[in-house]
Amino acid sequence: QSPLTQPASVSGSPGQSITISCTGTSSDVGAYNYVSWYQHHPDRAPKLILYDISQRPSGVSDRFSGSKSGNTASLTISGLQPEDESDYYCCSYAGGSTEVFGTGTKVTV
Amino acid sequence: EVKFVQSGSELRRPGESLKISCETSGYNFPNYWIVWVRQMPGKGLEWMGIIYPGDSDVRYSPSFAGQVTMSADRSISTAFLQWESLEASDTAIYYCARARSSFGFYFDFWGQGTVVTVSS
């Protein structure tokens, strides 16, 4: 299983919107609608921000939204805030009760 | 309140064995999968494998099969990750998390991570 491909870094100004892509294959992202996204500040536990492509857990801001087209899933952060500066990882079901993470994206605000 | 508390940092020499733990509370431990995730220094998250404490069913990533062993003790609501013979390349932070399943998995509660350092 190869990691899903994400851009190494994305930046934006406060208030802007940014989109992070997550590209896999027809065996993972393209085959299933089970992509989740995690925010990971260094030295902290990762935090779930989206699951099943676009579902937000309770307590997660609606500034985070998700979508998928073909083999690529996307995370959009609207109204960028300084506290959004973090690493972001996608994760997709890959069949056989296994999952694969993306390469990670560093968001700079 | 759901809590995941992982065992403390470990320093080991190459060739030594190690077992780290992930103690859970606040939910029905046997009924949810537990995932283990590795983060090597300066690198991203890697999905290692997943265990269902209810029947100890384990699914390993091909990259980790044969390299580690996952287990769980329902009597103490704790999951374990162990190595028989560590290598320097096992130096990493290891996270456990609860896996919710809607066919695929997503990970809603995480431990704080265990830092494992393997050095001679």
Find residue A99's DSSP bridge partners.
Answer: A93
Of the candidates A48, A89, A93, which has its C-beta nearest B108's C-beta? A48
Instruction: Say yes or no: B105 contacts chain A, CB-CB below 8 A.
Output: yes
Segment A22-39 mean pLDDT: 96
A86, A92, A96, A97 alpha-carbon torsion, rounded to 10°? 50
Radius of gyration of chain A (CA): 13
Assess whether pLDDT exceeds 80 at residue B41. yes
- The whole-angstrom distance between residue B37's C-alpha and the CA centroid of its chain comes to 6
> From its phi and psi, is residue A6 left (phi > 0), alpha (psi between -120 and 50) or beta?
beta
Band of residue B8 on the pLDDT scale cut at 50, 70, 90: very high
Q: Which residues of B touch A87 (CB under 8 A)?
A: 44
Interface test with A, best of B34, B40, B47 (most A CBs within 10 A): B47
What integer pLDDT is reported at residue A109 of this predicted model? Answer: 97
Assess whether pLDDT exceeds 90 at residue B46. yes
Q: Which tens digits make up the pLDDT trace of B75-91?
A: 999 999 999 999 999 99
What integer pLDDT is reported at residue B3 of this predicted model? Answer: 97
Assess whether pLDDT exceeds 90 at residue A1. no
Assess whether pLDDT exceeds 80 at residue B69. yes
- The rounded percent of chain A whose pLDDT value lies above 70 is 100
Q: Which residues of B touch A3 (CB under 8 A)?
A: 44, 46
Interface test with B, best of A49, A52, A58, A99 (most B CBs within 10 A): A99
Of the candidates B49, B95, B105, which has its C-beta nearest A46's C-beta? B95
In B1-118, beta strands by DSSP E: 3-6, 10-12, 18-25, 33-39, 45-52, 57-60, 69-73, 78-83, 92-102, 104-110, 114-118
Segment A40-60 mean pLDDT: 94
Instruction: Say yes or no: A32 contacts chain B, CB-CB below 8 A.
Output: yes
What count of residues does chain A have?
Answer: 109
Segment B32-41 mean pLDDT: 97
Average pLDDT over chain A reads 96
Assess whether pLDDT exceeds 80 at residue B102. no
Band of residue A34 on the pLDDT scale cut at 50, 70, 90: very high
Band of residue A97 on the pLDDT scale cut at 50, 70, 90: confident
Q: Which residues of B touch A40 (CB under 8 A)?
A: 45
What integer pLDDT is reported at residue B51 of this predicted model? Answer: 96
Assess whether pLDDT exceeds 90 at residue A43. no
Identify the CA nearest to A98 among candidates B103, B74, B13, B113.
B103
